[in-house]
């Protein structure tokens, strides 16, 4: 077992059923909610994401929405402009990684 596996095993032992106050349905939504939560209350983040996540389930949905509309939808969150830039960039990175993984050929 490598060092990272040991760390995760220890954390799983300490926190067997981790919970969060943030509302989300998909892993991507969780990433967005966590990024929005910096310097903001979970209550405020949930107010924004409860509406936002009806439109956004994955990176493609966010990128299709467009930066300006996304930024407007989170403007009640502290530091929304900076967060919008970073979340949008994260969505692009994830989408590009998913594309590369789907198109990668594997040798036996």
- State which residues of the chain have pLDDT below 70: 98-108
Judge whether 30 and 59 are in contact, CB under 8 Å.
Answer: no
> Which pLDDT belongs to residue 18?
85
21-103 has CATH 1.10.340.30 classification? yes
Report in angstroms the alpha-carbon separations of 40 from 14, 25, 35, 62, 71: 26, 20, 10, 21, 16
> Which pLDDT belongs to residue 108?
43
- pLDDT, tens digit (0-9, with 9 covering 90-100), for 68-84: 999 999 999 999 999 99
> Which pLDDT belongs to residue 24?
96
Alpha helical stretches, state H, 1-108: 3-14, 27-37, 42-52, 59-65, 67-73, 80-103
Whole-number percent of the chain with pLDDT over 70 = 90
Judge whether 59 and 95 are in contact, CB under 8 Å.
Answer: yes
Q: Whole-model pTM above 0.75?
A: yes
Averaged confidence pLDDT in the chain: 91
């Amino acid at each position: 077992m490598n060092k990272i596996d040991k760390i995760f095993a220890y954390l799983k032992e300490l926190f067997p059923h981790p919970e969060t106050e943030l509302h989300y349905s998909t892993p991507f939504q969780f990433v967005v909610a966590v990024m929005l939560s910096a310097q903001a209350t979970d209550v405020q983040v949930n107010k924004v994401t409860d509406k936002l996540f009806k439109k956004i389930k994955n990176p493609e949905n966010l990128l299709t929405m467009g930066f300006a509309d996304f930024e407007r939808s989170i403007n009640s969150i502290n530091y929304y402009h900076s967060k919008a830039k970073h979340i949008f960039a994260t969505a692009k990175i994830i989408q590009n990684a998913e594309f590369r993984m789907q198109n990668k050929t594997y040798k036996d």
